[in-house]
A and B are shown apart, each in its own frame.
Chain A
């Protein structure tokens, strides 16, 4: 599977990733190589095989059930939640303007 630079540009936009022209060229070559290798999967017949999204062992289906209770331990206060932000003020994250008016 050969990926063109235009396709790379489209995927980069989907991923919200700014790439330079040089990066896009390198990316097209690297990803094409990996995707070509991945094509061998198409030769394997997987008709009727249930996709595996998660590791399965005998009691794994019920392993994640718990009482429906508030877990205060994982609640961060406003100050702690904002502490690592790039920019904050008045108890909020600050971002560049979203809506023009």
Chain B
């Protein structure tokens, strides 16, 4: 058995036909992850015992003729900002180096109910803040496709484990592009569902009005199945949506003839040619499948990066206030309480977290609130309205994910503004809360993967998967 070649459907078939047991999958996946992880540093913590225990439960259920779930025997990686009961959850921060959550995130609980095998906790940028995975206190992740390059971020480890084959699927989180951009850089599928589609309970908060949990996979079908397993209303997250969860993997198999695709012209105006030619080829393929293509304008796109970095840092500065040296393991010594808070935070937060806490505190501070925070919330409304109007004309939008393919480790880390500006094509989707995904659309001449982004209206995941799946099949 080669874990790197498995898919959810091949695992289901293999278990059903008794080619292998879930325990054999877990043993081989554990061995392979331990062997391969030093190459990329994609996992911070491996969880072999948890994988073996989950596998034994699946085998028992199969033995007794029970349904072991949609993800039975599927090796899965979990981003290290998602709480796992009894398994260290560091958020890639020195601050939580020894933190062991007392409960599971709802998404993790659902993985377990569906029989998934948790292989390990995937590396990421500290508290999910970054676009290159270089902001991890446990060292950067190397892109499995090109080891001198970044895997993208912040869910770089979650993308890398799937690309490397040490997990079949994984969970990431996306606040401004942190699933789609690493998926594009590593040549895998990455999905940001509608805001509220997957419960955020147990996802360590970065910017609560923008945070999403979503799947990574090597195929559109596996991503659809994983989303189906984790999506749905959760009483523990008041913002989780009550809308029923359809079978994405079934609905996506309808053809795409007659679908109207919109091309947001603002997203292509400054797009470098190495990415642009691949997207144009993908569009021709979609037209050959019977889709019509028309130009669309999203006029407020140019304000999106500023709007996002005001709102996201403001929310982050509030959410990260809880790390005060009292409840969460790390504490710096000081003679009094206030200095203990300050020293703990100064000593244990990394540079990017500090930058965002400072920026967020500034934009919320007295005298600046209206000029920055309130203004940004108004701009957010205009960006959301751009999308609402676009979806009155077309069924889905096709866009780039990132202006460039994976860049070299160290290449952009010195210039935070430049790094922020490269998030332009992804963070608008988070601001509007609409579903969006990256699906591989080929490699540049240098052999680096590039993703195509597909965006649809709220709760139209089936339509989004349908475009992605039919494109993937046609390309294969």
A-side residues, CB < 8 A to B, are 3, 8, 11-12, 14-20, 23, 27, 30-31, 33-35, 37-38, 40-42, 44, 46, 49-57, 59-60, 63-64, 66, 71, 73-74, 76, 80-81, 83-87, 93, 95-98
Contact = CB atoms under 8 A, between A and B. Distances in A.
Interface of B: 98-100, 102-103, 194-196, 209, 235-236, 238-243, 300, 302-303, 305-307, 309-310, 317, 321, 324-331, 334-343, 345-347, 349, 351, 354-355, 357-359, 361-362, 365, 371-372, 374-382, 384, 416-417, 420, 432-433, 458-459
B303 A40 contact: yes
Contact of B361 (A11, A38, A93): A11
A30 to B, nearest CB: 5
A33 B242 CA distance: 42
Given A31-B359, A33-B417, A98-B337, A53 B377 contact: yes
A49 to B, nearest CB: 4
B239 A56 contact: no
A41 B306 contact: yes
A74 B236 contact: yes
B430 to A, nearest CB: 9
A34 to B, nearest CB: 6
Given A34-B416, A54-B209, A86-B325, 17 more contacts: A15-B357, A17-B349, A18-B346, A34-B359, A35-B359, A38-B372, A40-B302, A41-B376, A51-B380, A55-B432, A56-B433, A57-B433, A60-B241, A76-B103, A84-B100, A86-B327, A98-B337
Contacts of A44: 300, 303, 379, 382
A51 B432 contact: no
If over half of A's interface residues share one DSSP class (helix, strand or loop), that class is named, otherwise mixed; here it is: loop
Given A46-B375, A49-B382, A52-B378, A16 B235 contact: no
29 contacts: A8-B358, A11-B361, A11-B365, A16-B341, A17-B358, A19-B354, A20-B346, A27-B355, A27-B358, A31-B355, A31-B362, A41-B372, A46-B378, A52-B377, A52-B380, A53-B209, A55-B209, A55-B239, A59-B243, A71-B236, A84-B329, A85-B327, A86-B327, A86-B330, A86-B331, A95-B337, A95-B340, A96-B337, A98-B336
B235 A23 contact: no
